């Protein structure tokens, strides 16, 4: 319950990409309230797949609000290789966190979904009402179904217990403190790391796949500001898409060339067509967000990429990879 001294906001998965984006929004962009206490926890603090560990975490911090980011995540090839683990581990985490939110009378919980969990066979752009309208793409079905269950649980807890649980759906996020593992990470940090190695070794920059798939990329520091906004202002149980607009969608090849420019790469850029492209597009409609938060301004893409590349190069030795 809330104390007279202010709120305690627990951020699970708080030391990752989005967690650092939220921390930036709270501390550097000054969006946090001085009376609030923000607690950013990682897997070393508690095993959220274990109910006992999760309960001890809630007993220790007694949060009034929760932002639930923790998840088992990975790139295309990891999702295809380990669908069982992606499903079971994420389901356990989500069930334990929301159960503890209910038991400890947390005032509000905002969980994180993803546009990659929407139906594969759909019309575009996708919107919040289309989440359960069909099967997700076969490349990440384990992760996708587990994430969809957060929406089911949010609605169930609200219907049965009146809990103020909601969720947000970001598009592809990038920025400082990402996971730059080439094999297991997401496309943007993987390309940055590849290019770093190419510059170091004076080799060609090889992009996996054709480079034709389209994505909307959102800067992690913008996403952090949007999470804080959602915590303060968005109370509906239906998810809300947090993303740049449809007009900001670009191909993987365009992204690679933008990274190459930001890192001053002068070598050859090639494609490995033996690698899978994955889902061709998943264009998301952000009109609901912009209707509710019309004054929000996203960081220009090239500026965000340049800042992200500079951070990676400056922090290469300590960056996750």
- H or E element, residue 65: strand 65-68
Angle CA(273)–CA(274)–CA(277) in degrees, nearest 5?
65
**CA pair distance 210, 256, nearest whole angstrom:** 12
- Phi and psi torsions of 140, nearest 5°: -140, 35
Does 219 participate in catalysis according to the annotation? no
| Cα–Cα nearest to 106, from 144, 150, 172, 61 | 61
**CA pair distance 41, 69, nearest whole angstrom:** 10
Contacts of 1 (CB under 8 A, 6+ apart): 62, 64, 105
- Catalytic residue selected from 143, 196, 219, 234: 143
- Phi and psi torsions of 234, nearest 5°: -105, 115
- Catalytic machinery residues: 143
């Amino acid at each position: 319950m809330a104390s007279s001294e202010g709120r305690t906001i627990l951020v699970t998965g708080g030391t990752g990409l989005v967690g650092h984006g939220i921390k930036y929004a709270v501390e550097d962009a000054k969006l946090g309230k001085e009376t609030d206490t923000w607690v950013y926890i990682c897997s070393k603090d508690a095993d959220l797949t274990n109910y006992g560990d999760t309960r001890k975490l809630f007993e220790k911090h007694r949060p009034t609000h929760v932002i639930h980011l923790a998840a088992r995540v990975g790139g295309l090839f990891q999702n295809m290789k380990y669908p069982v683990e992606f499903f079971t581990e994420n389901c356990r985490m989500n069930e334990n966190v929301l159960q503890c939110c209910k038991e400890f009378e947390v005032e509000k919980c905002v969980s994180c979904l993803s546009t990659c969990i929407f139906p594969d066979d759909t019309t575009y752009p996708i919107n919040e009402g289309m989440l359960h309208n069909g099967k997700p793409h076969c490349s990440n079905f384990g992760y996708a179904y587990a994430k969809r269950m957060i929406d089911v649980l949010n609605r169930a807890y609200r219907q049965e217990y009146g809990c103020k649980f909601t969720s947000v759906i970001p598009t592809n996020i990038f920025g400082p403190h990402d996971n730059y593992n080439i094999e297991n990470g997401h496309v943007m940090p993987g390309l940055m790391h590849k290019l770093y190695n190419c510059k170091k070794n004076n080799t060609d920059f090889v992009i996996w796949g054709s480079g034709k798939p389209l994505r909307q990329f959102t800067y992690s520091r913008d996403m952090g500001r949007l999470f804080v906004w959602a915590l303060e202002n968005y109370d509906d149980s239906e998810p809300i898409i947090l993303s740049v607009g449809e007009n900001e969608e670009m191909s993987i090849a365009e992204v690679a060339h933008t990274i190459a420019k930001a890192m001053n790469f002068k070598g050859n850029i090639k494609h490995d067509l033996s690698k899978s492209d994955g889902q061709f597009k998943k264009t998301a409609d952000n009109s609901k967000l912009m209707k509710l938060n019309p004054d929000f301004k996203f960081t220009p893409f090239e500026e965000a990429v340049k800042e992200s590349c500079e951070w990676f190069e400056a922090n290469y030795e300590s960056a996750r990879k």
